Amino acid sequence: MSFFLINDIRLNLPMGWVPFQLLYLGPFSNVRCTLGRNISTPTFAGYTSINTLNITEAVTSLCAGLFRGCTGLTEVTVPGSVTSFGLGAFAGCTGVTDVVFEPGDEPIEMSDVAFADSHLNSLTFSRKLSSTTIPFANRAYLKTLTVGAPVSEI
């Protein structure tokens, strides 16, 4: 397996190095993505072959629709450095079953439908959530909710 690193975005492509401008992930499978900086456009929307996502501590926000429709993703771990989610950042990621919010100093602000139409089985909060909307629409699949300190109310 080869690694591709452009602007702190690391993709593991089974076919080797690919220039970012020519990046087409459609026929690939088991692509690992490491997000190492904030991105202001939905760069990865619709890439169904991304199945592993690593968000580093350098990331503080996830823009609207950033991973919308990435149906290959199965779990998402949000580091404590992330303090905001854009509208539908993971909407339509039907493969996502587990989401973990790691401890952080600041509450996390989530906009509407951040995980809409995902099939969340397990949700773990270890920090405060600041939201006046419904970030977890279609919660019919949710089986386990784990709440740790400093969460004091839901």
For 54-100, the pLDDT digits (tens) are 888 888 999 999 899 999 898 899 999 999 988 889 999 999 989 89
Q: Is the pTM above the cut of 0.85?
A: no
* Residue entry with tokens 């492509």: 13
> Do you find a cis peptide bond into 150, omega within 30 degrees of 0?
yes
pLDDT of the residue at 21: 37
Output the DSSP codes for the chain.
Answer: -EEEEETTEEEEETT----GGG---TT--SEEEEE-S--SS-TTTT-TTEEEEEE-TT--EE-TTTTTT-TT--EEEE-TT--EE-TTTTTT-TT--EEEE---SSPEEE-TTTTTT---SEEEE-S-EE-SS-TT--GGG--EEEE-TT----
The pLDDT of residue 80 is: 93
pLDDT at 154: 58
pLDDT at 108 over 70: yes
pLDDT band for position 20 (cuts 50, 70, 90)? very low
CA pair distance 21, 109, nearest whole angstrom: 32
- Return the pLDDT at 133: 64
